[in-house]
Structure 1
Amino acid sequence: MDSAVPATGFLYWVGASTVTYLLLRLSYSLFRAVRVWGVGNEGVGPWLGAWAVVTGGTDGIGKSYAEELAKRGMKVVLISRSQDKLNQVSSEITEKFKVETKTIAVDFTSEDIYDKIKTALAGLEIGILVNNVGMSYEYPEYFLEIPDLDNTIKKLISINILSVCKMTRLVLPGMLERSKGVILNISSASGMHPVPLLTIYSASKAFVDFFSQCLHEEYKSKGIFVQSVLPYFVATKLAKIRKPTLDKPSPETFVESAIKTVGLQSRTTGYMIHSLMGLINSNLPRWIYFKITMGFNKSLRARYLKKAKKN
């Protein structure tokens, strides 16, 4: 009986220590949540450098980043495919925010565009790079049944992967010379967890996420902050969502939230509701996650094919 007393005491302290540890973790998590989603960080602006460069800057999230950075007093370089759209968005930003803009019309499906971009950016003090340009599937599909598969592979890799590496290669040296700068790489929640029927897209966005995390660790001691942004659905043309909802915010709402995480989170969903969604998905058993994801994407695929057949 006497030996049971020390054992009981030991178990008591193990239990007390475990509870204390869990309470401290919960308290820290709540503190971080309030710091990120309640207070945020306003340390983004022209003090990082006069210019911000935004790829895919004429629509959706890219356009909203361009507008938000212009609102904060930064001059903006818009890079996209259509010169007409570039001119329109450039004029809107200049008129609304009274800042200088530049445009570069290139097609990111091509690999021979980066000398042109380098020449156009020469001499600019670039404080922020937003690698936003991206491409997804027309609809969820099995890998071998993707229409024009070889061309789709090339396009997705060129736009979603190559552009991020090449644009970073062009802009990062200037940031290092000044020991300050921010690179925002727009990945996707599809890069956080594998998404079957969007296989190439999901894998390409996972590359962006890993690339960002590695780059941040390599250069954070040199004054460079690299952020991987992993949103769930945002009401954009790319997502084919027209009407914003609480869990599918407008690009403006999303960017207003996401930009406040710069300097606080090197890896972020950018939006509090998306953060909660990510927490749930991360804790689902893997087989349940894949069952839900496959079921959802198969239903989207069936709906698209049925509609296409009618037309």
Structure 2
Amino acid sequence: MTLPIIGPLQDFFASLPFPARLLAAVGLFTLLKPLYRLVRVLTDCYVLGGIPLATFGPSKNDPSKASWAVVTGATDGIGKEFALQLAKKGFNIVLASRTQSKLDAVESEISSSSSAQVKTVAINFLHATDADYKRLEAEISQLKLAVLVNNVGLSHDKPVLFSEGDVQEMEAIAEINVRATLRVTRLALPLLQQNKRSLILHLGSFAGSIPTPMLSTYAGTKAFLIGFNRALSYEVASKGVTSLLLNTYFVSTAMSKIRRSSWSVPTPKQYVAQTLAKLGRPGSCYEEDRRGREMTVWPQHALTEWAVREFVGLGRASGMSLKSQKVIRAKAIKREERLAKGQ
């Protein structure tokens, strides 16, 4: 059945001179391209599933035969939720974080909600020494390791111009976001490559893909993760390792300082569940890497990135971000002043 409008449109285009038809075709392509990409984004976020977790060897029936997952920064927010949900999916869990009492609490929570085996490693990634990393390596060296979640991270206390930033904060962000990720990935990778299929997840940020003024050190470390993951993913693909970067916008966590969740700001539980259901789906990461090494699959995050790339542009988005970061900094300073006065 032919739509009534098709015939008149064909006649109209046929009546145009060739240059006009060419311009009309270019214009139509320009209009349809963002729509086509939007359909792909929505399909990834709402319709298509990702790589099944079963690919990486969980075992709900027999924890002694299950694969293991290492989660860094595992006592709060997204990291804790990854540990809980992976345990419920049948993985045994290694929790690596700073405070032993918090590790014990998460271990207890996992044990009460699943049959997973749990190991804890207290390690302060800000001040971790070679001996600390060797201790972590020794704890996992005999395990059937199938998943690594590089979640541990640090951001600025509040937005600040790089020239005015605290040097210790700058170095701490680089130490945790870059060096810790490199060291943990390096010691885990030989074990991951022993399996036929294994998975690495790096917690990225929009600040890395859309340069964010007044969070320049944090943004730089997250941009590093993009390049590191792209290179690493090519190296390990032939060895059965899938390495993915999670391009993350606001989630209701202590780091984001957003207490109330919404459609645009998911809880860690919502965000992790969507991520695990969509492994390998690019979402709105369609320009640089449609093959799935990067993911933006929370719907509102994906729609925001799509709109920025199609209609705003990265340069203009950074300029707009500068204005918003100035406002956030001013509010943070006022809040600190009220607390100092005891109000």
| TM-score (norm. length: structure 1) | 0.90
CA distance in 2, matches of 1:295, 1:51: 44
Asked whether 1:223 is paired with 2:210, we answer no
- Distance change (3 Å), C-alpha of 1:306 and 1:73: same
Residue 104 (structure 2) aligns with: 87
Which residue number in structure 2 is paired with residue 115 of structure 1? Answer: 134
Deviating beyond 6 angstroms after TM superposition, the runs of 4 or more aligned structure 1 residues are none
SS in 1 for 2:270: helix
Over 3 Å counting, the alpha-carbon distance change for 1:212 and 1:117 in structure 2 is same
The percentage of aligned residue pairs carrying the same residue is 30
- Counterpart position of 1:260: 277
Flag the 1:97–1:144 CA change in 2: closer, same or farther, 3 A: same
Q: Larger deviation: 18-27 or 202-211?
A: 18-27
Structure 1 stretch displaced more, 251-260 or 173-182:
173-182
| Separation in 2, partners of 1:84, 1:214 | 37
1:270 aligns to what? 297
Instruction: Indicate the residue corresponding to 1:163 in structure 2.
Output: 180
**Corresponding residue to 1:8 among 9, 13, 17:** 17
Aligned mates of 2:316, 2:236 — CA distance in 1: 38
Deviations 1:17-45 (A, max 9, x none): 88579758855762563244323225114
**Aligned twin of 1:132:** 151
CA deviations on 1:29-62 (whole Å, 9 max, x unpaired) are 6256324432322511451761010000111011
8 Å CA contact 1:109–1:158 kept in 2: the answer is yes
Higher mean C-alpha deviation, range 8-17 or range 52-61: 8-17
Comparing 297-306 with 130-139, which one deviates more in the overlay?
Answer: 297-306
Aligned to 1:308: 336
Deviation at 1:223, TM superposition (A): 1.4
| Corresponding residue number in structure 2 for 1:47 | 57
Q: Which residue of 1 aligns with 2:217?
A: 200
CA deviation vs aligned residue, 1:259-300 (integer Å, no higher than 9, x gap): 222133321123111001111222414553233211111111
Name stretches of at least 5 consecutive residues in structure 1 with no aligned partner. none
Alignment length, in residue pairs? 305
Mapped partners of 2:24, 2:142: distance in 1 = 62
Q: Secondary structure at the match of 2:53?
A: coil
Letter in 2 for 1:43: P
Q: 1:247: how far off? A: 0.5
Q: Deviations over 1:120-173 (max 9, x none)?
A: 111011110000000011111111322xx2322221111000111111111111
Q: Secondary structure of the residue that 1:177 maps to in structure 2?
A: coil
Compute the TM-score of the two structures, normalised by the length of structure 2.
0.82
